[in-house]
Amino acid sequence: MRRVLICGSNGLLGQRLSFHLSSNTAYEVLNTSRERSFVFDDRLFDYTQLDITQKGDVKSLVSSFQPSVIINAAAATNVDWCETHREEAWNVNVVGVENLVEASRKVGAKLIHVSTDYVFDGKSGPYAEDAQPNPISYYGKAKLAGENATRTGGIPHAIVRTIVLYGTGIQVKNNFALWVIRSLRSGQRIRCVDDQISNPTHVSDLAQAILKIFELDRIGLYHVCGRETVSRYDFAFQAAGIFGLDSSLIDRTKSSELAQPAPRPMVTGFVTLKAETELGLKLMNVKEGLTLLKSELHDQRTS
Ligand SMILES: NC(=O)c1ccc[n+]([C@@H]2O[C@H](COP(=O)([O-])OP(=O)(O)OC[C@H]3O[C@@H](n4cnc5c(N)ncnc54)[C@H](OP(=O)(O)O)[C@@H]3O)[C@@H](O)[C@H]2O)c1
């Protein structure tokens, strides 16, 4: 039986992976995250607290569980927070990954790690896997360093980069789609930039890609994102339409007017041909992703 250790199980992506893998009796799964308790019932799925920045804890948990695969969905993901809390951001996004790499090496495990389009400068998207990274934010720099630690660690590995992840789950942090929907629902005006252009990705597509990499035992770098390239403004506008909300509350603006602490790559997007052909993925466009989100939010409210 394949043993899988998931890190960051309480996050948006982590929850999806934990649910799918833990529900499959073919695998023995240990879910972990920084918090003491699991978002799912830990009588149904195995869970233990693990902070990936704690080298000794990572080492002893990995050597006692002996996973064949470690999936790292843990990260510091708030781009502006990372810009202003550099040491803490480095600790999670680089040192934490180094700890997982070292522990993987000791037990011969494969590491599946997740990264971001923010490793690029946004001058010439869409990017293929062989494009040259050039991060402009501290988050992007740290995530690239985390990739490099994975790549040079002497372990079998896969790295999956993704873009503007959205979706729902239990107590998940606000993501762009949820922020737009919640704000418009409460009648609040919002400002959305029309000059940051990329491919928002429903978490279900990313989870599917990682599950395929796991099942097919793939290694290497994969670019995975939604099928459609849109500005944040266009995405918010489509969300308003699909959720039946008032789009006149969305004000079009420019990045320069938002004064966000971290610089953003303006035009990213990925070439996803490799992921689609090798993993057999059918990635969603904005309408499909937001329609799925709408039904998931409806199910959450009625369950
Ligand atoms: N979100 C996006 O728009 C986006 C875009 C591109 C790429 N990505 C990448 O996609 C991956 C998944 O992102 P996500 O949106 O699912 O993130 P998320 O919802 O923020 O989840 C990350 C999880 O990791 C946990 N965590 C943080 N530090 C930890 C530590 N030291 N030890 C163990 N767990 C820790 C967090 O716990 P706390 O809640 O306690 O912090 C949280 O539960 C990340 O690698 C991210 O960089 C995300």
Helix, coil or strand: residue 82: helix
Q: Are strands 165-166 and 190-193 parallel, antiparallel or unpaired?
A: unpaired
> Does a structural domain hold residue 259?
no
Per-residue pLDDT of the chain (303 residues; tens, 9 = 90+): 899 999 999 999 999 999 999 999 999 999 999 999 999 998 899 999 999 999 999 999 999 999 999 999 999 999 999 999 999 999 999 999 999 999 999 999 999 999 999 999 999 999 999 999 999 999 999 999 999 999 999 999 999 999 999 999 999 999 999 999 999 999 999 999 999 999 999 999 999 999 999 999 999 999 999 999 999 999 999 999 999 999 999 999 999 999 899 999 999 999 999 999 999 999 999 999 999 999 999 988 776
Cβ neighbours, 10 Å, residue 299: 10
The span from the CA of 4 to the CA of 230, in Å, is 35
Query: Is 150 a pocket residue for ligand 1 (Cβ < 6 Å)?
Result: no
Q: How many domains does the chain have?
A: 1
Domain CATH for 68 = 3.40.50.720
User: How far does residue 117's CA lie from ligand 1's centre (Å)?
Assistant: 15
- Measured CA to CA in angstroms, residue 241 lies from 39, 133, 237 at distances of 31, 35, 7
Query: Is 82 a pocket residue for ligand 1 (Cβ < 6 Å)?
Result: no
So which residues are the catalytic ones? 139
For residue 130, give the DSSP letter.
Answer: T
> Does a structural domain hold residue 104?
yes
Range of the domain at 131: 2-173+200-227+268-285
> Does a structural domain hold residue 33?
yes
pTM of the model: 0.98
> Does a structural domain hold residue 245?
no
* Residue 152, amino acid: T
Name residue 253's beta-bridge partners: 193
CA-closest candidate to residue 20, choices 29, 7, 10 = 29
Q: Token pair of 120, please?
A: 């690029």
> Does a structural domain hold residue 262?
no
